[in-house]
Structure 1
Amino acid sequence: MRVIPQHRQDGDPQRALRAVRVTAPGRLHIGFLDLSGSLGRRFGSLGMTLERPVTRVLMENAAALSTSGPDAARAEKALRCAAAEFGVDESVKITVEAALPAHSGLGSGTQLALAVGVGACALSGKAIDPRDVAYALSRGARSSIGLGAFQGGGILLDGGKPVAGPRRQPPPLLSRIPIPDAWRILLIFDQERVGLSGGDETQAMDGLPPFPEALADRLCRLTIMAALPAAAEGDAIGFGRAVGEIQRRLGDHFAQFQGGRFTSPDVAEALRLIEAAGVPGVGQSSWGPTGFAVFGEAAAADDAARDLRRRFADRPNLVFDVVRGNNHGATVEVAPVPAHGATV
Structure 2
Amino acid sequence: MNAVIPAERTVSVTTYGRLHLGFFNLSQQAQRQFGSVGVAIDAFQTSLSLSSGLQQLPLDPLAASILQRHLAASDTQTAFNVSIEQAIPRHGGLGSGTQMALALGAAMNSLLNKPVSASDIAAIHQRGARSGIGIATFEHGGLVVDGGRGTHTVVPPMLARHAFPADWHFLLIIDNSRAGLHGQGEKTAFKQLAPQSVAATQTVQQQLLSQGLPALIEHDFAGFSQFLGDLQAYNAEYFAPAQGGPYASKAVANILHTLKQQGYMGIGQTSWGPTGFVLLPSRTEAVAIQMQLLKQYAGQTALGFVVTAAVNQPATIKIEDVVN
Question: For residues 108 and 39 of structure 1, what CA distance do their matches in structure 2 show?
Answer: 30
> Is 1:157 equivalent to 2:142 in the alignment?
no
Tell me the residue number matched to 1:260. 245
**Match among 39, 49, 58 for residue 49 of structure 2:** 58
Is the alpha carbon distance of 1:68 and 1:296 closer, same or farther for their aligned partners in structure 2, counting shifts above 3 Å?
A: farther
Instruction: Determine if contact 2:195/2:238 at 8 Å carries over to the other structure.
Output: no
> Is 1:19 equivalent to 2:16 in the alignment?
no
TM-score of the superposed pair, with normalisation by structure 1: 0.89
Question: For residues 261 and 67 of structure 1, what CA distance do their matches in structure 2 show?
Answer: 41
Tell me the residue number matched to 1:195. 180
Question: For residues 19 and 99 of structure 2, what CA distance do their matches in structure 1 show?
Answer: 12
Give the deviation of 1:211 after TM superposition. Answer: 2.1
**Match among 116, 126, 129 for residue 138 of structure 1:** 126
Is the alpha carbon distance of 1:169 and 1:337 closer, same or farther for their aligned partners in structure 2, counting shifts above 3 Å?
A: farther
**Match among 208, 213, 216 for residue 201 of structure 2:** 216
Number of equivalent positions: 320
> Is 1:117 equivalent to 2:102 in the alignment?
no
Give the deviation of 1:221 after TM superposition. Answer: 1.4
Is the alpha carbon distance of 1:204 and 1:146 closer, same or farther for their aligned partners in structure 2, counting shifts above 3 Å?
A: same
Structure 1 stretches of 4+ moved >6 Å: none
Tell me the residue number matched to 2:24. 33
Q: Which runs of 5+ in 1 are unaligned?
A: 1-13, 340-344
Give the deviation of 1:17 after TM superposition. Answer: 5.7
- Give the 3-state SS of the residue equivalent to 2:63 in structure 1: helix
Question: For residues 17 and 28 of structure 1, what CA distance do their matches in structure 2 show?
Answer: 36
Instruction: Determine if contact 2:12/2:47 at 8 Å carries over to the other structure.
Output: yes
Question: For residues 56 and 149 of structure 2, what CA distance do their matches in structure 1 show?
Answer: 36
Question: For residues 271 and 98 of structure 1, what CA distance do their matches in structure 2 show?
Answer: 29
Q: Deviations over 1:287-322 (max 9, x none)?
A: 000011111111111111111111111211111111
RMSD (Å), alpha carbons: 1.6
Instruction: Determine if contact 1:68/1:94 at 8 Å carries over to the other structure.
Output: no
Question: For residues 244 and 87 of structure 2, what CA distance do their matches in structure 1 show?
Answer: 27
- Give the 3-state SS of the residue equivalent to 2:246 in structure 1: coil
**Match among 298, 305, 313 for residue 328 of structure 1:** 313
Give the deviation of 1:276 after TM superposition. Answer: 2.1
Question: For residues 135 and 184 of structure 1, what CA distance do their matches in structure 2 show?
Answer: 32
Give the deviation of 1:88 after TM superposition. Answer: 4.9
Question: For residues 226 and 165 of structure 2, what CA distance do their matches in structure 1 show?
Answer: 17
- Give the 3-state SS of the residue equivalent to 2:317 in structure 1: strand
Question: For residues 124 and 169 of structure 1, what CA distance do their matches in structure 2 show?
Answer: 24
Q: Deviations over 1:26-73 (max 9, x none)?
A: 0011111112332210010011110121111121221x346535xx21
Look up the equivalent residue of 2:272 and give its one-letter code. W
Give the deviation of 1:122 after TM superposition. Answer: 0.9
- Give the 3-state SS of the residue equivalent to 1:34 in structure 2: coil
Give the deviation of 1:15 after TM superposition. Answer: 5.4
- Give the 3-state SS of the residue equivalent to 2:248 in structure 1: coil
Instruction: Determine if contact 2:7/2:52 at 8 Å carries over to the other structure.
Output: no
Tell me the residue number matched to 1:8. none
Give the deviation of 1:140 after TM superposition. Answer: 0.6
Look up the equivalent residue of 2:166 and give its one-letter code. D
Q: Within 5 A, what are the aligned runs for 1:224-263?
A: 224-263=209-248
Look up the equivalent residue of 1:51 and give its one-letter code. D
Question: For residues 263 and 338 of structure 1, what CA distance do their matches in structure 2 show?
Answer: 51
Question: For residues 103 and 329 of structure 1, what CA distance do their matches in structure 2 show?
Answer: 23
Look up the equivalent residue of 1:149 and give its one-letter code. T
TM-score of the superposed pair, with normalisation by structure 2: 0.94
Give the deviation of 1:16 after TM superposition. Answer: 6.3
Identity %: 35
